[in-house]
């Protein structure tokens, strides 16, 4: 494991107590309160989760067993029956029927507000439309949409009838969509004619057409008219959303789902190329996203809450849609880019919609810093009372800017560590209780047993870097990798004995605060999104001119990491600058714009070990322009390195 930033972080001594009075109105009132909850969970973990599951959720049928744990397989609330959409909608109708559930603004500026009653009706109509297409319990539905209310309607509609969804980020290419459709064996794709991004139309439907042509399992495509773009509609296969739902009933019974029924599959990058289908199930996921939303974002009925994530990421699943709605909150969604029409857009939205809770990513914060303090200064941000970040370690200086300029030194910041696989937030401050330190995600959520260990699983002494693990199963942990249980076991439960291996490096300080240092494997975190180097390499190599490719991350002020690729070309190919541009475009076509290499360099050969493994460590140093230190003795051919340095 490399040493990451241990040195610089060690000098971070600033501390911020919860603002005076915050704890009084908060769900978790004080450090003592937090400690009590932890002690209760420690003494009786199953009782702790069972009490919450009883008091916070509606169940059609109670469970017989809280947890059935046969490492690495967990089953939570065994035998219990519930429905996530019911918990997000129906149970609020009595008390919150006229409260806004989803508040939305499109990039061009139109606003929509759906009350709980209206959202319930929309979801039922859509669920009935799915049923009319023959979709039932267990049939996988892919959702490839812009960030519009219908994306949430589609997710909830699937959950209502027990059809697992797999949401594919609308920024991904047709090829990436195709691979996911095939792996997930999707029967239906829900999409739109397009979405708005930076003033331009994102052509979603044409990419669906490309993808579906190669994914024969897809029988139906449902297309929402969002931008009014002309699109091809294949008779029999393609249906307009508005036509399909028009005649449907606004009542659709919520299917009583088994607690362990598949809720959704969400693909995330792995180290070995093929994206992993992370599997989440119903009961544990509902409980954990509900209770973390409530306690960490301190949701109260009068709050307007905004998490800036797209529903294509786990953050969008857990903290745009399911967690907030399960709590009966008002969740705000914004379709567009933060600088459309100008870099003040987010702050204007906060002022206009009186946003109280704002949750975004360090990469966005660094971009805002670059755009300058003048933009937020033009708007009234006094509605804000709580800020959050997620996606990667936040540099202390970015944390301080967020605290000072956006939070106006009044709002607690929750730096939340978690993963697609964990389903919900694992290490985090509780805003009325925790003393925060800039750059630290602080301490585990009650009931979460996190540790920093060596390979053998021994806890590391304070301030020594090691592997971040979770020692006990928690309700929203991934259940498996879709159709690949061996990969699940291998990736998460075999690296360190009897612990969930997160794949992150971390240290814990003398007060027990966690400082996450980044991935220990070959995954690049670009703007808070994990991209597998292998996937990008495969994309490069799929171009006829490329013989071999190696991709590494280079620290980047804005994006966290930027992608640098080294390629060797086929013998007769000319190494022109035009080809480099072509290769960058090729990666975008294969994977999506997020994976566009910042830089591609030609290499005569790649540095490899004798066993043929590319020595990424050396390439990383080269890419970031730092000195080549450390061991190069395993290098097969030392002249390769010299040439790379010159090139
Ligand atoms: C990886 C998970 C979970 C939603 C967003 C990304 C990094 C995430 C933090 C944080 C330090 C963080 C980790 C993690 N990460 N949050 N607060 N501090 N690192 O989900 O794509 O599954 O990525 O993001 O490296 O393993 P994801």
pLDDT by residue (tens digit) across 96-138?
999 999 999 999 999 999 999 999 999 999 999 999 999 999 9
Average pLDDT over residues 409-420: 97
Average pLDDT on 132-151 reads 98
Check pLDDT > 80 for residue 348: yes
List the structure tokens of 374: 């003048």
218 has a pLDDT exceeding 50: yes
pLDDT of residue 636: 63
| Pocket lining: 317 vs ligand 1, CB cutoff 6 Å | no
Residues 424 and 479: their CA atoms lie apart, in Å, by: 14
| pLDDT score at 273 | 56
Please give the distance of CA 65 from its chain centroid, rounded to a whole number.
Answer: 30
For residue 633, the model assigns a pLDDT of 58
Say if residue 1's pLDDT is above 80.
Answer: no
Alpha-carbon span 228 to 221, nearest angstrom: 17
Quick one: pLDDT at residue 631? 58
481 contacts 488 by C-beta, under 8 angstroms: yes
- Mutation pick for ligand 1 pocket among 310, 388, 419 (CB with most ligand atoms within 8 Å): 419
Domains assigned to the chain: 523-646 (3.30.300.30)
What the block records as the tokens of 348 is 């204007």
pLDDT at 7 over 50: no
Candidate from 366, 392, 395, 527 with most ligand 1 atoms within 8 A of CB, to mutate: 392
Question: For residue 233, what are the CA distances in angstroms to 20, 125, 330, 531, 615?
Answer: 58, 22, 35, 33, 48
| Residue-averaged pLDDT of the chain | 92
Report the range of poorest mean pLDDT among 15-29, 75-89, 166-180, 597-611: 597-611
Q: What is the whole-number distance in angstroms between the Cα of residue 420 and the centre of ligand 1?
A: 8
Q: What are the start-end ranges of the E strands in 17-99?
A: 65-70, 73-78, 81-82
Of 5 and 567, which is predicted with more confidence? 567
β-bridge pairing 529-532 and 165-167? unpaired
Q: Choose the weakest-confidence range: 18-27, 202-211, 360-369.
A: 360-369
Backbone angles phi, psi at 11, to 5 degrees: -90, 5
- pLDDT tens digit sequence for 294-309: 999 999 999 999 999 9
Query: 443 versus 614: which is more confidently predicted?
Result: 443
Distance in angstroms (rounded) separating the CA atoms of residues 393 and 395: 6
The span from the CA of 265 to the CA of 166, in Å, is: 5
- Cα torsion 145, 151, 154, 160 to 10°: value is 140
Residues 494 and 41: their CA atoms lie apart, in Å, by 26
Q: What is the DSSP letter of 518?
A: E
Residues contacting residue 12 through CB under 8 Å, at least 6 positions apart: 396, 437, 438, 439, 440
Give the span between the Cα atoms of 592 and 599, in whole angstroms. 16
Helix pair 116-132, 149-161: axis angle to 10 deg = 60
In this structure, the number of other CB atoms found within 10 A of the CB of residue 202 comes to 18
pLDDT score at 412: 98
Considering only CA atoms, which residue is closest to atom 19 of ligand 1? 392
For residue 156, what pLDDT band results from cuts at 50, 70 and 90?
very high
Burial state string for 79-100 with b = 16 or more CB within 10 A and e = fewer than 16: ebbbbbbbbbbbbbeeebeeeb
Q: What is the widest separation between alpha-carbon atoms in the chain? A: 74
pLDDT at 646 over 70: no
Higher pLDDT, 248 or 1: 248
Indicate the helix (H) or strand (E) that contains 383.
Answer: none
Work out the pLDDT band at 270, boundaries 50, 70, 90: low
Q: Which atom of ligand 1 lies at the shortest distance from residue 428's CA?
A: 17
The mean per-residue pLDDT over the stretch 397-408 comes to 95
Q: Which of 307, 393, 414, 418 to mutate to test the pocket of ligand 1 (most atoms within 8 A of CB)?
A: 418
Tens digits of residue pLDDT in 66-82: 999 999 999 999 999 99
Tell me which residue of 647, 623, 628, 644 sits closest to 562, measured CA to CA. Answer: 623
ipTM above 0.90, yes or no: yes
Q: Residue 8: phi, psi to the nearest 5? A: -65, -40
d(CA 576, CA 184): 39
Kindly report the pTM of this predicted structure.
Answer: 0.88
Q: Which residues contact 117 (CB under 8 A, 6 or more apart)?
A: 93, 97, 98
Q: Which range has the worst mean pLDDT, 40-54, 146-160, 258-272, 475-489?
A: 258-272
Pick from 271-280, 385-394, 403-412 the range whose average pLDDT is largest: 403-412
Nearest alpha carbon, ligand 1 atom 13: 392
The answer, yes or no, to whether residue 608 has pLDDT greater than 90, is no
Q: Mean per-residue pLDDT for 609-636? A: 71
């Amino acid at each position: 494991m490399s040493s990451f930033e241990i040195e610089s972080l060690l000098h971070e001594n600033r501390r911020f107590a919860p603002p005076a009075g915050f704890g009084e109105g908060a769900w978790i009132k004080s450090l003592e309160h937090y400690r009590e909850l932890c002690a209760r969970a420690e003494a009786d973990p199953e009782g702790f989760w069972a009490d919450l599951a009883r008091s916070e959720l509606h169940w059609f049928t109670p469970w017989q067993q809280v947890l059935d744990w046969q490492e690495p397989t967990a089953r939570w609330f065994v035998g219990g029956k519930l429905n996530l959409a019911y918990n997000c909608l129906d149970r609020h109708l009595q008390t919150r029927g006229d409260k806004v559930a989803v508040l939305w603004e499109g990039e061009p500026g139109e606003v929509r507000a759906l009350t709980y009653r209206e959202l319930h009706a929309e979801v039922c109509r859509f669920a009935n439309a799915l049923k009319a297409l023959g979709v039932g319990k267990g049939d996988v539905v892919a959702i490839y949409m812009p960030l519009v209310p219908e994306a949430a309607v589609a997710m909830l509609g699937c959950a209502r009838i027990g059809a697992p969804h797999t949401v594919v980020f609308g920024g991904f290419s047709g090829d990436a969509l195709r691979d996911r459709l095939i792996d997930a064996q999707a029967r239906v794709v829900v999409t739109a004619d397009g979405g708005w991004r930076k003033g331009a139309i994102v052509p979603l439907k044409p990419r669906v057409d490309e993808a579906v042509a190669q994914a024969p399992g897809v029988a139906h495509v449902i297309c929402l008219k969002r931008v009014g773009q002309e699109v091809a509609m294949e008779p029999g296969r393609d249906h307009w959303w508005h036509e399909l739902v028009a005649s449907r009933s606004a009542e659709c019974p919520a299917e009583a789902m088994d607690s362990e029924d598949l809720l959704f599959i969400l693909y995330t990058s792995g180290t070995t190329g093929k994206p992993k289908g992370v599997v989440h199930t119903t009961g544990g996921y509902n409980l954990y996203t509900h209770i973390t939303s409530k306690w960490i974002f301190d949701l109260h009925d009068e709050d307007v809450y905004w998490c800036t994530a797209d529903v294509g990421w786990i953050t969008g699943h857990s903290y745009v849609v399911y967690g907030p709605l399960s709590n009966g909150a008002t969740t705000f969604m914004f379709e567009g880019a933060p600088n459309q029409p100008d870099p003040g857009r987010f702050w204007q939205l906060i002022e206009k919609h009186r946003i109280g809770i704002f949750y975004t990513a360090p990469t966005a914060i660094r971009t805002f810093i670059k755009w300058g303090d003048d933009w937020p200064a033009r708007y009234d941000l006094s509605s804000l009372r709580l800020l959050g970040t997620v996606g990667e370690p936040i540099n202390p200086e970015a944390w301080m800017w967020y605290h000072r300029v956006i939070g106006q030194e009044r709002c607690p910041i929750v730096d939340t560590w978690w993963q697609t696989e964990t389903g919900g937030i694992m290490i985090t401050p509780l805003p009325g209780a925790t003393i925060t330190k800039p750059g630290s995600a602080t301490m585990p959520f009650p009931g979460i047993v996190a540790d920093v260990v060596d390979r053998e699983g021994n806890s590391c002494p304070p301030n020594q870097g090691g592997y971040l693990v979770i020692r006990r199963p928690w309700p929203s942990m991934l259940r498996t990798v879709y159709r690949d249980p061996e990969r699940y076991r291998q990736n998460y439960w075999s690296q360190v004995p009897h612990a969930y291996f997160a794949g992150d490096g971390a240290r814990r300080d003398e007060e027990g605060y966690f400082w996450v240092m980044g991935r220990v494997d070959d995954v690049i975190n670009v703007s808070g999104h994990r991209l597998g180097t292998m996937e990008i390499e495969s994309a490069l190599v799929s171009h006829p001119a490329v013989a071999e490719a190696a991709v590494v991350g280079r620290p980047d002020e804005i994006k966290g990491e930027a992608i640098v690729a080294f390629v060797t070309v086929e013998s007769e190919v000319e190494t022109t600058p035009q080809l480099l541009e072509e290769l960058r475009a090729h990666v975008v076509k294969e994977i999506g714009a997020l994976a566009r290499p910042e830089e591609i360099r030609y290499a005569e050969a790649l540095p490899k070990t004798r066993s043929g493994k590319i020595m990424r460590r050396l390439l990383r140093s080269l890419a970031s322009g730092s000195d080549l230190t450390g061991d190069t003795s395993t290098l097969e051919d030392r002249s390769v390195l010299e040439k790379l340095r010159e090139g």
